[in-house]
Structures are given as C-alpha cells and as structure tokens.
Amino acid sequence: MTASLTTRAATERTPITMAAWGALGACLLAVFLQMLDLTIVNTALPEIAADLAASDAVQLLVVSLYSLTFACTLLTAARLGALLGRRRVFLCALTVFVAASLWCGLSRYGAELIVARGVQGLAAAAMSAQTIAIITASFPPARRALAFGIYGAAAGFAAITGPLAGGVLIAIDPLGVGWHAIFLINVPLGLVGLALAYRFLRQSLSEERERLDLPGALLSTLGLFLVLCPAAIGREKGWPPVLLAMIVGGCALLAVFAARQYRLTRRGGGPLVHAELFTDRGFALGAVLTVGFFGLFGGFLFSVSVAAQSGLGMTAMQTAWLMAPFALGGALGALSSPLLVTRWGPRALTVGMLIYAGAVVGIAVVIGPHAVSVDTVTLSAPVLVAGVGMGCFAAPLPALMLAGVADRITGSASGTVPTLQQLGTSAGVVALGGLFFHRVDEAAPTVTKAATAHAYLTAYTAVLWAVAAAAAALAVVTLAMPRGPAGSDA
C-alpha cells in the first residue's frame, strides 16, 4: 500500500518536459486545423457557388468529401503510423495538408476544389490518427488528463468556431481574395505546426513489426464509406432505396471487418483495431459514450444552424455569434476538467453530462413551444453552461478511456477513437436531423415568415428535449466507468 502510494506520488511529481509541450503544441495545431476545416466551409458556400458557378451537387461534395475521406481512412492511417513511425507520418501528413489547403485556396474550378478537398481530408486523417498515440507517449500517465483536457478544448473550440471564423474572414476579407482566405489561413498555421513537430516529435515505431492488414484496410474503408456517404447526402437526395442498401451493405462489411480483426488478434497478427481494446471495460464503455455524445453534439449543431438560418433568416455570422458562448463554455469546461478528474475520477464525466443535459433543457425553456423569435441575450446563459458541460465531458474522455489500455495498443486506439467520433456525428445528424425536419413539416401548414420561424423553432425545441433525454441516459452509462487508475475497479 505504502509502496503504491509512493510510486503514484513520484509519478505525479514527474516534470513535463519541453519536448512534451512542443509535441502537444504540434498536435493542437493539427487538430485545430482539421476540425476547423470540417465546419468553416459551410459559411463560405454561397460565395463559392457564385464565384465557381457551382451546382448543388458540387457544393455538397465540397463539404462532404473532406469528412468522408477523413473518416474512412483513420484506421489505416493509425496502423501506418505504427509501422512507419508517427513522427514521419505526422510530418508528411501535415505537409500534404498545408499543400492541399494552398491548392484549395488557389482553385478556380469546382472539380478542382473537390479533388483538393479530398486530398485535404486524407491528410487530416493521417494527422489525426497519430495524435492520441503521440500525446500518450509524450506525457506521463498522471499528466495525460491535463494534456487531453487542453487537446479537447482545442478540438471543441475549432469545431464550434469554424462557422464564426469563416464568417469573419468572408466579412473582412483581409487578403482581398474572398472565400479563398478560409483555406489560405491554414498555410501559416500549418507551417508553425510543422516547425514544432520537426523540432519536438520523437520517432516511434511499433515493437511488433507485422505487415499492414490490406484486406482489413479495404474492408474498413469501403464499409465506412458505404455507411457515412448516405448519411452525408441522404437528406438532400430524399433517401432513395439505393442509399439504404448502401448502409446495409456497409454494416455487413464492417461486421466482416470486426470478425477479421478478432481473428487476427487471437492469432497474434497485426490488426488495424485490436480486439483487446474492447475487453477493457473503460475503453468499451468509453466507445459507447463517444458515439453517443458526438451523435448528440453533431445533431445539436446541425439543427441549431438550420433553425437559425433557414427558420429565422439569420446570416452565417449571426448564427456563429449565437453559438459563441457555447465555444467559450466548451473551452472553460475542457480546461477545468483535469481538476474535476483529479477530485472525482470518472464521475467528472457524469457531472459534465448532467450539466449539459440541464443546460439543454434551459435552452428549450427559453425558446418556448410557441416562439417565433429568439432572445439571444437570455439564451446566451444556458448556451454557455451547455458548452461548459460539453467541455467537462468530452475533454477527459480519451484519457479515461485509455487508462486501462496497454501502451503497445494505443496506436490502434489512436485511429479507433476519432473513427468512433465520426460515426457518432454522422448518426446524430441523420437521427436528430430526421426528427428536426419531420417536426418542421408537421408545424408549418402555411408558408409565411412567422409560420416558418415558428415551425423551425418548434422543431428545434423537440430536438433539444430529445438531446436532453439522451444526455441523461449517457450520464447513467458513465456511472459504470471503472474508478481505478488503470481501468480497473481498484
């Protein structure tokens, strides 16, 4: 007992080196850029469409191809990082991302921009798939909660501020190049990230020198594409049977992939996803929480954007300012999460999710069932609190998930966690988006400005109540997270 306490105290006193902070800085810039580019384009779509004479299909591909290539290649990219070295893959990926951003910023045709966005998504996946493993290797176990808290704050802040940043860049046009600025801004930030990564990242190779599981890579990539592509375009296409068939086929391929990964793990091979990950209770429950939370998060952001712009006639900039307190609250919650984890352990997740659920109820009450407008000043308080709850929950979740995972398979986790996040986000947009538009159709028998605003706000209120109920259910799930520091119940 005394020896254990002495060892833990010594670990907690372990200083964080400059190399660790530098590696974290490179990861922060990478995650900021990759998350920013998931949302920043939405603001500029009208300008892009006008300048490039882009059809609806082109606009949809400009937005969705990035997220599709990003999500579908994460697992393969994580394995390549383990085999080729995380430093090498991270530097190459960030270099390609900067070059692809420059290509996007210089594009003059819709097809050219679509291809550049696809390359950008591939590079973002290769960066993202290394970050969890890099942070885990750079920080001692007792300090990882702090590192992941900062990392979570950067990711959440980037996702929320993407539309705001896009609106600001379009409005002030600092470079005099219009919409091109939303991509060109990545270049100087990416170069700073490259400098940090080159200086501070250490080369790390997997101790197990298996080959890349090519059949597994094909199964996972195609399966994820068949599931996520319909999620991205289904609403615009009216959900034809072919898209539903794609989802069924994708789920079947992912089931075959899972069975293959299990067999490879049992035989001591080199799977893309170690089945051993899901034998750890903390990681398995964390996977459920990750999919559930990002589903709520994605549906929440999607519906508020549509309600504000399509229902209330707000500009993208006004919508971004409406959600600015959420971004601020998210940063505050994420930065305070290490203190909560130190005090309460995994129960910090319960606290964060309950705060989030309560604040979402507050938002629904402020909007009201018969609203035709929104009091943004009154709304800012519950929106801020919702952000705090989101930050308190999302930031420490990766560290708590990985607490009981052996270091030798953190590389697999590094690709699995962001893949789960993308799956959750897509499922949330489909489920909550479907609920949203169903309620809009029910609540808008006439087409007038007041009726439209009322219909969209009524639909958004229904989504908020659904989000609050699901968040409360996730809070119950967090109670099963193991309390021990190593993923046990000790």
**Residue 25 to residue 192: CA distance in whole angstroms:** 9
Q: How many residues does the chain have?
A: 490
3-state helix, strand, coil in the chain (%, to 5): 85, 0, 15
Q: Which tokens sit at 342?
A: 């130190």
Comparing CA positions, the residue from 331, 323, 333 lying closest to residue 300 is: 323
Q: Kindly report the CATH number that applies to the domain delimited by 276-484.
A: 1.20.1250.20
42 touches 167 (CB < 8 A):
no
**Residue 201 to residue 232: CA distance in whole angstroms:** 35
Q: Which amino acid is at 307?
A: A
pLDDT band per the 50, 70, 90 thresholds, residue 1: very low
The pLDDT tens digits of the residues spanning 456-468 come to 888 888 889 999 9
Domain parsing of the chain, residue ranges: 17-201, 214-271, 276-484
Q: Residue 386 phi/psi, 5° resolution?
A: -60, -40
Distance between the two ends of the chain, CA-based, in angstroms?
Answer: 12
What is the reported pLDDT for 210?
A: 62
The pLDDT tens digits of the residues spanning 183-238 come to 999 999 999 999 999 999 886 655 555 678 889 899 999 999 998 888 877 777 77
What is the reported pLDDT for 63?
A: 79
pLDDT band per the 50, 70, 90 thresholds, residue 423: confident
Angle at CA 141, nearest 5°, toward 395 and 284? 60
**Residue 360 to residue 202: CA distance in whole angstroms:** 42
- 262 has pLDDT over 60: yes
**Mean pLDDT score across all residues of the chain:** 83
Measured CA to CA in angstroms, residue 444 lies from 106, 312, 383, 448, 456 at distances of 42, 14, 26, 9, 8
* Three-state DSSP class for residue 266: helix
Q: Do domains 17-201 and 276-484 have the same CATH topology?
A: yes
Q: What is the CA 184 to chain-centroid distance, rounded? A: 22
In order, the DSSP letters of 113-159 are HHHHHHHHHHHHHHHHHHHHHHHHHHS-GGGHHHHHHHHHHHHHHHH
Cα-atom radius of gyration of the chain, to the nearest Å?
Answer: 22
**Residue 488 to residue 490: CA distance in whole angstroms:** 5
325 touches 389 (CB < 8 A):
no
Q: Which fold has domain 17-201?
A: Growth Hormone; Chain: A; (1.20.1250)
In order, the DSSP letters of 86-98 are HHHHHHHHHHHHH
pTM > 0.85: yes or no: no
